[in-house]
């Protein structure tokens, strides 16, 4: 095992020439921005070539266009592709490593070009450097370290590099999970934990957008119309009042492994719009706003979605002249998940992290969401863990190179099979 760690650590001595950093930089240079899903084929071809160079068997799965356009209308122009790579050593057990390769739009204000990655001290910068092409690099380089050190893993290795996590993952991990393409006993979703914290679950979501219809009229005679903006304000106030009661229900509060309480939350109006042809002197006849309901592992995501619909129905019956409806194409449900930290696989991983980090590792759940839920729905033990970085989704996104190296060592030690039965 020490040979593997030495191989990985040796690349820290000359960071600019590090094969691990160069791999990550090559990944960042392919701007797989989602939406809409730019350059997915180029990314998958690159990953396939690299995996084959390591002697892995590779499968590329394209989501059939007829299926893809139902979830992503522009998928006919931007194909949805997922890659699975395997190293079968004839072991009884298989461990699966998953990372997504899509990234959010870069935005403005970067120090340098977000898709021309650069290194400054211990930091490697670029869109996707932290979320989450660093994990792809760490996974592949851990395999390379084992190969070049002449070591055989203690379990079969299965990797998936998937699309669309940034818009819910239904055509990425959701697709390969639904079609039974994940053939593993243990799951590592390579985000959702870092440093000494190991992820063992996450919140779910119910996202939707509500459309409110009014009646137009001249601004000098507002009493002749129905102001959709004013009706939206009444609706939002009613929603907040009713939701506050539900969100404070003790049965909905989730107690984390750290024994802290996590309550469900709602954010209303992250997206808001009015009539396209709106004018200052016209009573608005249209308004649209979003809600972001975070669902704890103590709740049922389908029940929460029903509650949100029932709340809109109640408002229509209660508020005079209100005509509101949920835009069906806007609805997105992601299930929360929680894996018991006392599972033997998670305890084994905790021991590895503790040993490599030099401090006792602990378990945590995140208020956001990852793709982990797709992979553990059938009861497989799974966890979330990846390199530590900063500014994910933000300006000058970056990953710590020393932490990237340490996480790669942790992946390699797990692949060796320390503590796995």
Q: pLDDT tens-digit profile of 241-268?
A: 999 999 999 999 999 999 999 999 999 9
Tell the CATH topology of 2-202+336-416: Aminopeptidase (3.40.630)
How confident is the model over 192-216, as pLDDT tens digits? 999 999 999 999 999 999 999 999 9
CA 69 vs. chain centroid, Å, equals 21
Check if the beta carbon of residue 194 is closer than 8 Å to that of residue 138: no
The owner of tokens 């440093």 is: 195
**41: number of Cβ within 10 Å:** 12
> What's the pLDDT score for residue 36?
97
- What does pTM read for this prediction? 0.92
Both tokens of residue 52? 């084959």
Nearest to 69 by CA among 137, 166, 171: 171
Q: Tell me the sheet residues that pair with 197.
A: 194, 362
> What's the pLDDT score for residue 420?
63
User: DSSP labels for 142-173?
Assistant: HHHHHHHTT---SSEEEEEEES-GGGTSTTTH
Where do the structural domains in the chain lie, given as residue ranges?
2-202+336-416, 204-334
Assigned CATH for 204-334:
3.30.70.360
Check if the beta carbon of residue 351 is closer than 8 Å to that of residue 313: no
How confident is the model over 3-54, as pLDDT tens digits? 666 666 665 444 445 899 999 999 999 999 999 999 999 999 999 999 999 9
Both tokens of residue 175? 């697709």
> What's the pLDDT score for residue 18?
87
> What's the pLDDT score for residue 168?
93
Rounded Cα–Cα distance for residues 177 and 99 (Å): 14
Nearest to 125 by CA among 139, 141, 145, 109: 109
**List of the chain residues with pLDDT < 70:** 1-17, 418-421
How confident is the model over 181-198, as pLDDT tens digits? 999 999 999 999 999 999
> What's the pLDDT score for residue 335?
96
């Amino acid at each position: 095992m020490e040979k593997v760690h030495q191989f990985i650590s040796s690349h820290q001595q000359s960071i600019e020439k590090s094969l691990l950093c160069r791999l990550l930089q090559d990944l960042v240079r392919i701007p797989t921005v989602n939406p809409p899903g730019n350059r997915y084929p180029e990314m998958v071809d690159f990953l396939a070539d690299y995996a084959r160079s390591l002697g892995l068997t590779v499968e590329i799965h394209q989501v059939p266009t007829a299926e893809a356009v139902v979830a992503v209308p522009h998928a006919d122009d931007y194909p949805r592709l997922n890659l699975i790579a395997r190293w079968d050593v004839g072991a009884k057990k298989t461990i699966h490593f998953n990372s997504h390769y899509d990234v959010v739009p870069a935005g403005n204000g970067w120090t340098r070009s977000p898709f021309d990655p650069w290194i400054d001290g211990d930091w490697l910068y670029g869109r996707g450097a932290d979320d989450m092409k660093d994990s792809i690099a760490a996974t592949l380089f851990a395999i390379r370290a084992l190969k070049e050190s002449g070591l055989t893993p203690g379990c079969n290795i299965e990797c998936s590099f998937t699309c669309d996590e940034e818009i819910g993952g239904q055509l990425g991990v959701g697709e390969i999970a639904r079609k039974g393409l994940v053939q593993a006993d243990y799951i590592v979703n390579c985000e959702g934990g870092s440093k000494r914290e190991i992820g063992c679950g996450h919140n779910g979501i119910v996202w939707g957008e509500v459309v409110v219809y009014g009646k137009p009229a001249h601004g000098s005679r507002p009493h002749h119309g129905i102001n959709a903006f004013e009706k939206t304000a009444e609706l939002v106030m009613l929603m907040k009042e009713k939701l506050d009661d539900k969100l404070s229900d003790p049965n909905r509060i989730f107690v984390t492994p750290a024994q802290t309480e996590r309550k469900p939350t709602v954010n209303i109006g992250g997206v808001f719009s009015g009539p396209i042809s709106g004018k200052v002197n016209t009573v608005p006849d249209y308004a649209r706003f979003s809600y972001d309901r975070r669902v704890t592992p103590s709740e049922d995501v389908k029940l929460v979605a029903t509650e949100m619909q029932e709340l809109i129905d109640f408002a229509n019956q209660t508020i005079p002249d209100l005509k509101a409806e949920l835009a069906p194409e806007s609805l997105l449900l992601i299930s929360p998940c929680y894996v018991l930290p006392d599972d033997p696989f998670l305890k084994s991983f905790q021991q590895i992290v503790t040993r490599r980090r030099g401090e006792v590792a602990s378990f945590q759940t995140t208020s956001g969401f990852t793709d982990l839920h797709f992979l553990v729905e059938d009861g497989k033990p799974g966890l979330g863990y990846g390199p530590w970085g900063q500014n994910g989704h933000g300006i000058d996104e970056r990953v710590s190179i020393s932490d990237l190296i340490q996480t790669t060592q942790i992946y390699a030690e797990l692949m060796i099979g320390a503590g796995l039965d």
